[in-house]
């Protein structure tokens, strides 16, 4: 019996993953426990929870593996500064002390952190994977494919920013890579920054904004900013970027090119931002499709796996699925750095120890429900300590009653089973509502999530009824593809309505989940992997004839999704949610004692 602990940390989205004889046991993000969004610190709490869930000590773990190689990253940093010297002195002066004090000696730092957890000197084996290998392993090994191509796209690892690999049985073989500073991820992040959103956090907002604009700057981007070759390889014009030597993503030349300054987060969204979002989305899709087509042309393999932060761009993923040459596309649901912890552990098991791989016909991610859960006893003990009024229901009773409440336009916090691994809520830590309501998108964005009104919501649709509402014949359990709403469910949008005016227009029979371009980011819900969520949606379907609910993550702006019943209850009380479900416990806000209702639950939320 062999335990392997994988770790990602120190950059963003730190996490821990635990394997037993190659089987994925648990994978947890530190942010869920620390309540700091994108927490980059060493994942002490996540590691302790992995060990606790398995009932073992750190001394029982045979190997610990870190998801990248800090010395290679340091080499890239120094070489980049030297290449652009004397520019970048301020940035160099800022980053070097941190490297010389902490990151350069990461092996020692990791061992010290592990010793603190073990409360004795760590004597186990410590390994280091490469960043893009960790991404590739996280994509291929849990996938349902015996043989597949692998495409990894992110900001930057050590040197690689884009890489391709061949996965076959237990082996992963590198094919090619594109190196820093040329990066599709950093290109997209630069436009995220320019449009006023946080880098490494707001890229999905830029993607969501794109359908409200026109791609009028696509040719300008191709001519001035990124050279794209026929095979998909690309080269950035570094005259427009400041991320190598400066403390921001873009520079004055970038601003002059678009004839405006970067939007400040507190400023209104401009038409320029809408059109820039549409343009960079189109260019990104072009690069991904060309890279994928070249891979297929050279290898003639019908399946592809994706990972890296760019693989969370579900619009681009759908273009690849619909327009690309591949019959099968599988994407790691925790494609960002958090998933690197899992990939590093899997790479060690298969590549270093040469173990045999067994492929699962769905995949080996268990629906991404790889986190911790709480017992009914733990939940009721917490609620009783606050004198919360609640009832306990059977699953059948619960699903019927909650479906009725959704039909009555109530918004429900839905907290069930193990926590999801990755950025998407999949029915474990979700907020759900009625997709038919024309007001629900605005209500949930402004009064519950406390975020921008343009942000779209996803439908969680019964897998077996997906094609009734969407032009989509695949499965999408991880909310990583978009699909068009079928013509017969659409409503005509007047030609005169443009930009963010589209927000006030009903675009379909299910307007709360229909985006400006008639698309929706799908989660297909299977009875096999997500039985209770499936039962709830089935109850709503029997009641309304609509086989879906709105599904968004159980959190508010600036915070990670909830982890504990305490997190869930506090979030519930701080927002305009009407009902909270904690496993079999049903809580109505309207039934709570006055002392709970009068308490100040709301916090100050920072822009995210």
Domains along the sequence of the chain with CATH: 3-130+337-361 (3.30.420.40), 178-331 (3.30.420.40), 376-598 (3.90.870.20)
pLDDT given at position 568: 98
pLDDT given at position 441: 84
Distance CA 353, CA 18 (A): 16
Residues of the chain with pLDDT under 50: none
pLDDT given at position 607: 55
Other beta carbons less than 10 A from residue 344's beta carbon: 31
Token pair of 344, please?
């590093």
Contact 138, 343 (CB under 8 A): yes
Report CA torsion sign: 311, 315, 321, 323: negative
pLDDT given at position 502: 81
Report CA torsion sign: 118, 120, 126, 132: positive
pLDDT given at position 99: 54
Distance CA 495, CA 511 (A): 18
| DSSP 3-state percent helix, strand, coil across the chain (nearest 5) | 40, 20, 40
User: Which residue in 243, 239, 244 sits closest to 81, CA to CA?
Assistant: 244
pLDDT given at position 110: 94
pLDDT given at position 80: 60
DSSP, collapsed to helix, strand or coil, labels residue 293 as helix
Contact 366, 422 (CB under 8 A): no
User: Which residue in 95, 58, 94, 101 sits closest to 76, CA to CA?
Assistant: 95
Kindly provide the b/e burial profile for residues 542-581, where b requires at least 16 CB atoms within 10 angstroms of the residue's own CB: eebebbbbbbbbbbbebbbbbbbbebbbbbbbbbebbbbb
pLDDT given at position 88: 54
Contact 497, 434 (CB under 8 A): no
């Amino acid at each position: 019996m062999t335990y392997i602990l994988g770790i990602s940390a120190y950059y963003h989205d730190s996490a821990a993953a635990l394997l037993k004889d190659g089987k994925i046991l648990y994978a947890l993000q530190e942010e869920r426990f620390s309540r700091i969004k994108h927490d980059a610190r060493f994942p002490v709490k996540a590691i302790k929870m992995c060990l606790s869930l398995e009932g073992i000590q750190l001394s029982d773990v045979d190997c610990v593996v870190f998801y990248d190689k800090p010395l290679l990253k340091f080499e890239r940093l120094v070489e980049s500064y030297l290449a652009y010297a004397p520019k970048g002195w301020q940035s160099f002066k800022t980053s070097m002390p941190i490297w010389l004090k902490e990151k350069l000696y990461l092996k020692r730092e990791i061992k010290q952190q592990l010793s603190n957890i073990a409360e004795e000197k760590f004597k186990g084996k410590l390994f280091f994977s490469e960043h893009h290998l960790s991404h590739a392993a996280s994509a291929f090994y849990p996938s349902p494919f015996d043989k597949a191509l692998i495409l990894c796209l992110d900001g930057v690892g050590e040197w690689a920013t884009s890489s391709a690999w061949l996965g076959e049985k237990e082996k992963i073989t590198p094919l090619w890579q594109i190196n820093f500073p040329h990066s599709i991820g950093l290109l997209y992040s630069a436009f995220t920054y320019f449009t006023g959103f946080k880098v490494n956090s707001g890229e999905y907002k830029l993607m969501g904004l794109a359908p409200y604009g026109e791609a009028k700057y696509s040719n300008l981007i191709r001519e001035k900013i990124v050279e794209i070759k026929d095979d998909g390889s690309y080269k950035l014009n570094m005259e427009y970027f400041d991320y190598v030597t400066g403390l921001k993503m873009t520079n004055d030349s970038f601003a002059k090119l678009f004839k405006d300054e970067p939007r400040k987060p507190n400023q209104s969204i401009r038409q320029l931002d809408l059109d820039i979002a549409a343009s960079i989305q189109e260019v990104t899709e072009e690069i991904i499709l060309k890279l994928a087509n070249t891979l297929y042309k050279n290898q003639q393999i019908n399946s592809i796996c994706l990972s890296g932060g760019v693989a969370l761009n579900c619009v681009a993923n759908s273009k690849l699925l619909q327009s690309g040459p591949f019959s099968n596309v599988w994407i790691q649901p925790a494609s960002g750095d958090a998933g690197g912890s899992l990939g590093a552990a899997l790479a060690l098991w298969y590549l270093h120890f040469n173990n045999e791989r067994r492929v699962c016909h769905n995949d080996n991610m268990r629906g991404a429900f790889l986190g911790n859960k709480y017992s009914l006893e733990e939940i009721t003990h917490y609620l009783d300590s606050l004198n919360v009024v609640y009832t306990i229901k059977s699953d059948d009773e619960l699903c019927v009653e909650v479906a009725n409440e959704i039909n009555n336009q109530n918004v429900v916090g839905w907290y069930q089973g193990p926590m999801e691994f990755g950025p998407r809520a999949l029915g474990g830590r979700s907020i759900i509502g009625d997709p038919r309501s024309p007001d629900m998108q605005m209500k949930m964005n402004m009064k519950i999530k406390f975020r921008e009104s343009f942000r779209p919501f996803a439908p969680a649709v019964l897998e077996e009824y997906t094609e009734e509402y969407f032009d989509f014949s695949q499965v999408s359990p991880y909310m990583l593809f978009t699909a068009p709403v079928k013509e017969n469910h659409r409503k005509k949008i007047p030609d005169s309505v443009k930009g963010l005016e589209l927000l006030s227009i009903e675009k379909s029979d299910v307007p709360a989940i229909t985006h400006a371009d008639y698309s929706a980011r799908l989660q297909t819900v299977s009875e096999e992997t997500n039985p209770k969520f499936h039962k709830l949606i089935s109850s709503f379907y029997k009641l309304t004839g609509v086989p879906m609910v709105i599904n968004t993550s159980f959190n508010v702006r600036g915070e990670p999704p909830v982890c504990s019943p305490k997190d869930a209850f506090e979030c519930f009380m701080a927002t305009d949610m009407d009902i909270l479900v904690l496993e079999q416990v049903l809580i109505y806000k309207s039934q709570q004692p006055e002392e709970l209702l009068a308490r100040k639950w709301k916090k100050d939320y920072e822009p995210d």
